Chains A and B, each alone.
Chain A
Amino acid sequence: MTYEYIHEPIEVLAVFRKERTEPMTFKWGSRYYQIEKVNLIHTEHDGREKVYYFNVSNGDSSYRLSFRSESLKWVLEEKCEG
């Protein structure tokens, strides 16, 4: 199993449902990644800004995405491959 710390901005296609928000697809570099499952969402404060972390997976890969409530930017934080 390999962990990689990435911390790079990404483009995300997300769905805003009645009770939750879920990222569906993200583009990192020139490649698109389909998200199969959102496993856990957690939050953290960085000063006044709230950061949402989405732990998502796709087959043999798992990713940690972050969304910042002030700048409205998505970042790919980590990648894990089995």
Chain B
Amino acid sequence: MFRTKLSVLRPTVLPNYRPLFMHLDMNSYFASVEQQANPLLRGKALGVCAYLHEYGCIIAASIEAKARGMKVGMRVKEARQLIPDAVFVQNDPAKYRTVTSQVFAILHDLSDRVEHYSIDEAFLDCTGWMRDEAEAAWMAVKTRERIRREVGEWLRCSIGIAPTRFLAKLASDREKPSGLTIITLENLDSILLGMSLQDVYGIGRRMKKRIDALGYHTPLELKRAPVANLMQAFGIEGYLLWARLNGIQADALASNDAPPKSIGHSYCLPMRVNREGRVRATLVKLAERAARRLRRQNLYAKSVLVSIAFRDSTASYAPSPFGPPTDGVYQHRFDEPVNDSYALVHAVLKLFDDLWDGHRAISFLAVTYTEFTPPSHQMHLCLFRPTTYNLRPTNSGLSFALDVVNDRYGDHSVIFGSMFGITKDEAPDRIGFRKTDGVDITNFSLG
């Protein structure tokens, strides 16, 4: 296969090639995949929801829906009021992972260095594979055509080409849908001229405020600012911001094999889960599912975090590593890193009992495992209770055995007793935009 030869063919010294990066962003991705699967949805205002419920959240809107004002993050109820004839479907992660695998496999035919940035975005380092921007643009058009022909004719993507990773992303964000933008050091100023600070990837509302306070109000002003001023205000981040806007490579392509920094699952609980007393069971399901992912990647966690939010919350929100605001985040650190479900679930339930009085209705639950370190494999002896040894090896063996059963017969074939009564509707499989778990470019052939 051509793909397997790429890394062999890639020249190690690239004296005459200028740096070339490409960024591909699938447009209205989840909605476009749904429209690809079902032609009756094409041309319609379509919202893909986390849950098909009036209070479910829109996680993707079709291009037609966006044109009529539907936005990601809206409630279904709100979107229906805005567009009465809109159609809503529940998200289907397996569908999106398969399509992403197919798209990424095509991208791996272009370069040996492809960063799977998210479920619908990828960066390519094309240096050495394409002579200049013109050839890169030609390859981009051909790639877009391959995606349409081999994956689906309804799928659209925006592509950016530039001398750095950052500018490639800036270029692809410029025109949606189906844009193709080339940024060079020569046209960079004219591209930045029409942009506002918040159009720049990485500058949010708070950062904009801080930059405004320095007296720079546009990306072009920021580009031309003395780097010392920015470094004085923002430290190394100031230099990186200046370098990125000046076309200096400040970000290397991330490796797809790099271990994650955290693994976790979260769930917005419907009221019926509270009513039917299945909150703890749902939490155990989240903890166990995350633990399975931990073991699948052969990682051991030193720390576990549990986060909850209450329905009647009026308290000021605690900072949360999970995104949505929460009423409390508790953390437990293990003496030794673990990945067996018993230790993890036990710690999660202990934290949860500290956070919850057993009565207040809960709207959000999250479990996260972090601080991944390799295990020391040393037996721990308790000085004060000499007869009790660390039982972790036994629990690890049991967790491994249960994984084998669940891998063979399907998830949740064997479950914790505390998960009894839970249905597949509680905390189902979900997909995050920044997650590429399950995306497998070696397994995209469906023939």
Please report A residues at the B interface, Cβ cutoff 8 Å. 1, 17-21, 37, 39-44, 46-49, 52-53, 55, 57, 60-62, 64, 80-82
Contacts and interface: CB of A to CB of B under 8 A. Distances in A.
18 contacts: A1-B41, A20-B446, A21-B446, A39-B38, A39-B152, A41-B98, A42-B37, A42-B94, A42-B446, A43-B446, A47-B407, A47-B410, A48-B407, A49-B410, A60-B40, A62-B39, A64-B37, A80-B40
Contacts, number: 67
B438 to A, nearest CB: 9
A9 B272 CA distance: 32
Interface majority SS (helix, strand, loop, mixed), chain B: helix
Interface string B24-55: 00000000010011111100000000000000
A73 to B, nearest CB: 16
Given A20-B446, A47-B408, A47-B409, A39 B39 contact: yes
B413 interface: yes
A41 B407 contact: no
A57 B408 CA distance: 33
B40 A1 contact: yes
B406 interface: yes
A57 B407 CA distance: 33
Given A42-B98, A44-B94, A20 B447 contact: yes
A39 B446 contact: no
B443 to A, nearest CB: 8
Contacts of B406: 47
A46 to B, nearest CB: 5
A42 B33 CA distance: 11
Contacts of A46: 410
Contacts of B39: 37, 39, 57, 62
A48 B447 contact: no
A10 to B, nearest CB: 18
B95 interface: yes
B40 A43 contact: no
Contact of B38 (A18, A20, A55): A55
Given A40-B33, A47-B408, A47-B413, A80 B38 contact: yes
A1 B87 CA distance: 8
A1 B34 CA distance: 15
B99 interface: yes
B36 A40 contact: yes
Contacts of B33: 40
B99 A40 contact: yes
Interface in B312-348: none
Contacts of B446: 20-21, 41-43, 52
Contacts of A53: 94-95
A40 B95 contact: yes
A46 B411 CA distance: 7
Contact of B447 (A21, A47, A55, A61): A21
Nearest to B33: A40
Given A37-B39, A42-B446, 9 more contacts: A39-B36, A39-B37, A40-B33, A42-B94, A42-B97, A47-B413, A48-B407, A53-B95, A62-B40
A17 B95 CA distance: 22
Given A20-B447, A57-B39, A43 B94 contact: yes
Nearest to B411: A47
Contacts of B410: 46-47, 49
Nearest to B38: A62
B20 to A, nearest CB: 31
